[in-house]
């Protein structure tokens, strides 16, 4: 039996609820929340405490201002599953904000990743309406690889299974590279679309190059190649943040 559930908007859910029934104002707010999330993610990746605290505060205020109640038909079991994952997402998000406030950015990054994962599990369809959400598997996978490859001790470590992580990153990119920004949600200018296509192609090329370097077994060269992927990924994500490319 299908019932009409009224789902209160948990904080993180508001980033991803871009159903076709949303009003233009709700779409704009959700897009703004996404852009603030990109700013926070970048600040955490750079271990920038000041920017992370600022971005976390802005994102929190943005989400809290979105008093949205979401209606859609769903099975009772589906509804229970959504509530379960939303509760975990909201808890992880608040833990991340606390860690940011305390200056523990490494822990905050892990907690934010957990929050986004739980959010995607709550409703994958709604989550993937936002472009950053739709490619998040690649973002999360690559950031893990990037952290590992930039470890200062890598050049003296056994290569081990590191090459597998590189292949995982390429696989994650291959799985999402076909996704494009929604014309309804992103009113990109021709120049912005050109930037998107260029950055997209740069990720393609730099990931392939990274894999070739990995195959060579040159661990230090892998660090250089990884920085090219980093630059390409953040150039792409900057189109969905509130800061210009030069600041991301």
**pLDDT of 131-149, one tens digit each?**
998 999 999 999 988 888 8
Decide if 81 contacts 69 (C-beta within 8 A): no
Does the CA dihedral 118-240-45-53 come out positive or negative? negative
- Model pLDDT, residue 23: 59
- Model pLDDT, residue 190: 92
CB atoms within 10 A of CB 243: 15
Q: Domain 135-248 class?
A: mainly alpha
- Only one residue has tokens 């929050």, namely 115
Write the DSSP assignment of 1-53 as a string of letters.
Answer: -EEEEEEE--TTHHHH---TT--HHHHHHHHHHHHHHHHHHHHHHTT-HHHHH
Q: Is 186 left (phi over 0), alpha (psi -120 to 50) or beta?
A: beta
Decide if 242 contacts 39 (C-beta within 8 A): yes
Beta bridge mates, 118: none
Nearest to 227 by CA among 244, 247, 213: 213
The span from the CA of 112 to the CA of 90, in Å, is: 10
| Spans of the chain, pLDDT less than 50 | 1-13, 16-21, 67-73, 244-246
The span from the CA of 138 to the CA of 174, in Å, is: 9
Instruction: Give Cα 169 distance to the centre of its chain.
Output: 14
- Model pLDDT, residue 208: 93
Provide the CATH topology of domain 1-130.
Answer: 1.20.120
The residues near 87 (Cβ < 8 Å, ≥ 6 apart) are: 10
* Residue 6, φ and ψ in degrees, nearest 5: -105, 110
pTM of the full structure: 0.81
The span from the CA of 65 to the CA of 213, in Å, is: 47
Nearest to 184 by CA among 27, 25, 12: 27
- Model pLDDT, residue 22: 55
Q: Domain residues of the chain, as ranges?
A: 1-130, 135-248
- Model pLDDT, residue 21: 43
């Amino acid at each position: 039996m299908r019932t009409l559930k009224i789902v209160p908007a948990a904080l993180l859910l508001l980033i991803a609820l871009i159903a076709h029934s949303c009003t233009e104002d709700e779409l704009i707010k959700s897009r703004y929340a996404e852009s603030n999330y990109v700013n926070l993610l970048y600040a955490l990746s750079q271990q920038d405490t000041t920017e992370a605290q600022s971005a976390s505060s802005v994102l929190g205020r943005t989400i809290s201002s979105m008093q949205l109640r979401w209606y859609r038909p769903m099975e009772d079991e589906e509804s229970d599953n959504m509530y379960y994952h939303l509760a975990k997402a909201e808890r992880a998000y608040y833990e991340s904000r606390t860690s940011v406030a305390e200056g523990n950015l490494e822990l905050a990054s892990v907690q934010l990743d957990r929050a986004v994962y739980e959010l995607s599990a709550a409703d994958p369809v709604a989550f993937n309406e936002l472009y950053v959400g739709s490619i998040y598997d690649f973002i999360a996978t690559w950031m893990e690889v990037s952290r590992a490859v930039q470890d200062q001790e890598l050049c003296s470590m056994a290569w081990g299974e590191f090459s597998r992580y590189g292949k995982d990153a390429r696989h994650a990119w291959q799985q999402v590279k076909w996704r494009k920004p929604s014309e309804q949600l992103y009113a990109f200018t021709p120049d912005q679309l050109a930037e998107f296509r260029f950055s997209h192609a740069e990720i393609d090329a730099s990931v392939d190059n990274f894999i070739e370097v990995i195959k060579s077994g040159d661990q230090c060269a892998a660090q250089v190649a990884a920085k090219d992927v980093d630059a390409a990924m953040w150039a792409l994500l900057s189109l969905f943040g509130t800061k210009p490319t030069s600041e991301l």
